[in-house]
Each structure stands twice: as structure tokens, then as C-alpha cells.
């Protein structure tokens, strides 16, 4: 039996409890949006993707049966599927991140550095095949364990490790000039 | 690829992704998501909520009034067509009479008339 911290909130949201829905959203929205933002080219698209994932939560919450899989695993799988759908409909625009220059709270130079780093990393990520990108983001950006990431992706741990190895290699080759620079 | 190289790749990837700025969550997005929750009327047993969920399955991502309007317009068009247009299989009594009269007439051909 899987111990799922979301079970109670999902059940309450399914029975119309708005506070439970709000709590569920507060718990998962930041990581879901961050994942979608790094998977996709733009902020607006990532927001639409996350909104659609929550729409699925609201429509399925009343029928959610705990025990089979963790709610979070299902939720992130739904989010990634939304991302894949969008990636297949529309080609990536990796340079949009360059337009999202931070507000300069750490000083203008630091803000520009961060924006440049984000643009380069986003461009390199966008060139990875979508499964490699998802694997890299789940394990290195969101720091999930291999077993959990493999469950979200619906693959074996060995397959995940293979995706990770290829993705890391490509990223390092493309971004090695950043090692002593912006980081 | 050696084990050391794999570890270097993993360390590099981790470091570079951790250096990315945090993604900000717009308040408008939270409002949109909760708006969806309210729109779906997540109250089991309530007719509006049930209809909203059925509408969401048939036509995802649009307000309930849109599929409802399309359904209503289709219904009105169907009823209007049913009430005012004749059905294609129907034959008027007058056309029946013409056919019967034509068949009842005996053929009166005089072969010598043209000679």
C-alpha cells in the first residue's frame, strides 16, 4: 500500500471542498509550473499546460482511488503528457527565455548574467529529445529519486538511467563553456 | 564512457540546472485554476455540477454555455426543419391521380393517319 500525503486533500476536493483544492494547488503548483516552464519554450504555454493538468485533477478527483499509485506521480505524468502534446503541436522556440530578463533585484549585471545563463540552458534543453529532457529535469532540476522519476515517466529505472546518461552528456558538451563563467 | 566521466556529467548537469532562476507563479494563474474548480461545480449530486463535468468531457476547456448553446441551436434547427420541410418520401395525392389517370387511358393510335 502506497502512503500518499495527498489522498485526503484529493478526496475532499472531489467533494467540493474549495480549501482542499486550494491546498492541493499550493502544494503542487510551484513544482508543476517549474517543470512545464523548463520543458516548454514559453511561460504562457507552461501556464496553460499546468491549468489543463489541474482541470484533469478537478474532473477526476471525485473518482480517485488511493492505493494504486501516488497522486503526485499521476499528477506529474499528466503534466508531462500535456507538455509532450504541446511540443508535438508546435516546434520549440528556445530563445524566448532570453526575453524574460529578471527585474535586477541582485543588481543589473547579475540579472543580465542570470538571463543569459537561462537562455543558454533553455536552448540546450530544448535541443534534447523530450524524454531525455523530462528525465534530466525530474532528477536534476527537481531532485527526484530515480525510482520516482521512472514511475512518473512510466519506464524502468534502467531506461531512465540510459536517458539521463545521454542527456547529461549532450548538455555538458553544449554548455561546457559555462563551467567557469556564469555559474 | 567511464564512471568518472558519468559522475562529472551528472555533477555538471546538477550544478547548471540549480543555477537557473526560480519560476514565479502569477496570481492570475492561481485564480484561473481555482476558477476552473468553481466552474466545474465540484459538488456531487448537484445537477449543474454533473452537467458541467459531462460538458468538460465532451468539449474540454470551454465555458458550459458554449456546448449548451450549440446543442440548443441544433435542436431548434432540427425541430424547424422537421416542422416545415416536407419529408423526401412523401408523395402528394395530386401526383398519384395524374399517374393513375395516365395509366387508365387506352392507347388510341391510328396507324393509317399519316398515310
Residue A176 confidence (pLDDT): 81
**Contact by Cβ (8 Å): A37, A79:** no
Chain B residue with the nearest C-alpha to that of A141? B17
The percent of residues in chain B predicted with pLDDT above 90, rounded, is: 15
What residue ranges do the domains of chain A occupy? 1-91
Residue B92 confidence (pLDDT): 59
Residue B52 confidence (pLDDT): 66
**For A49, how many CA atoms within 13 A lie in the half-sphere containing its CB?**
30
| B60 φ, ψ (degrees, to nearest 5) | -70, 145
What does the H/E/C string look like for chain A?
CCCCCCHHHHHHHHCCCHHHHHHHHHHHHHHHHHHHHHHCCCHHHHHHHHHHHHHHHHHHHHHCCCCCCCHHHHHHHHHHHHHHHHHHHCCCCHHHHHHCCCCCCCCHHHHHHHHHHHHHHHHHHHHCCHHHHHHHHHHHHCCCCHHHHHHHHCCCHHHHHHHHHHHHHHHHHHHHHHCCCCC
What residue ranges do the domains of chain B occupy? 3-80
CATH architecture assigned to A1-91: Orthogonal Bundle (1.10)
Residuewise pLDDT in 10s, chain A (183 residues): 567 788 889 989 988 899 999 999 999 999 999 999 999 978 999 999 999 999 999 988 888 887 778 899 999 999 999 999 998 887 655 545 444 544 444 555 666 777 788 888 989 999 999 999 999 999 999 999 999 999 999 999 999 999 999 999 999 998 887 765 545
The CA distance from B82 to the nearest CA of chain A, in Å, is: 37
Q: Which chain A residues are Cβ-neighbours of B10 within 8 angstroms?
A: 140, 164, 168
A133 part of contact set with chain B, CB < 8 Å: no
Q: Which chain B residues are Cβ-neighbours of A118 within 8 angstroms?
A: 20-21
Amino acid at each position: 500500500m502506497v502512503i500518499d500525503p495527498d489522498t485526503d486533500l484529493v478526496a475532499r476536493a472531489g467533494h467540493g471542498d474549495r480549501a482542499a483544492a486550494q491546498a492541493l494547488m499550493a502544494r503542487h503548483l510551484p513544482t508543476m509550473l517549474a517543470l512545464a516552464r523548463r520543458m516548454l519554450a514559453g511561460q504562457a504555454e507552461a501556464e496553460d499546460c499546468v491549468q489543463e493538468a489541474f482541470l484533469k485533477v478537478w474532473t477526476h478527483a471525485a473518482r480517485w482511488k488511493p492505493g494504486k499509485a501516488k497522486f503526485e506521480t499521476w499528477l506529474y505524468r499528466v503534466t508531462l503528457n500535456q507538455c509532450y502534446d504541446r511540443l508535438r503541436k508546435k516546434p520549440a522556440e528556445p530563445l524566448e527565455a532570453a526575453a524574460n530578463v529578471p527585474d535586477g533585484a541582485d543588481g543589473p549585471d547579475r540579472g543580465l548574467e542570470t538571463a543569459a545563463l537561462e537562455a543558454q540552458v533553455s536552448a540546450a534543453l530544448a535541443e534534447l529529445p523530450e524524454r531525455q529532457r523530462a528525465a534530466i529535469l525530474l532528477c536534476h532540476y527537481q531532485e527526484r529519486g530515480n525510482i520516482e522519476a521512472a514511475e512518473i515517466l512510466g519506464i524502468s529505472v534502467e531506461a531512465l538511467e540510459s536517458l539521463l546518461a545521454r542527456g547529461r552528456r549532450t548538455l555538458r558538451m553544449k554548455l561546457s563553456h559555462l563551467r567557469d563563467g556564469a555559474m | 564512457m567511464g564512471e568518472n566521466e558519468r559522475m562529472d556529467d551528472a555533477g555538471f548537469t546538477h550544478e547548471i540546472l540549480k543555477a537557473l532562476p526560480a519560476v514565479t507563479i502569477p496570481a492570475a494563474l492561481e485564480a484561473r485554476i481555482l476558477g476552473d474548480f468553481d466552474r466545474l461545480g465540484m459538488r456531487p449530486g448537484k445537477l449543474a455540477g454533473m452537467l458541467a463535468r459531462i460538458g468538460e468531457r465532451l468539449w474540454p476547456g470551454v465555458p458550459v454555455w458554449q456546448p449548451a448553446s450549440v446543442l440548443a441551436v441544433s435542436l431548434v434547427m432540427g425541430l424547424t426543419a422537421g416542422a416545415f420541410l416536407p419529408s423526401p418520401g412523401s408523395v402528394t395525392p395530386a401526383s398519384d391521380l395524374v399517374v393513375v389517370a395516365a395509366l387508365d387511358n387506352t392507347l388510341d393510335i391510328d396507324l393509317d393517319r399519316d398515310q
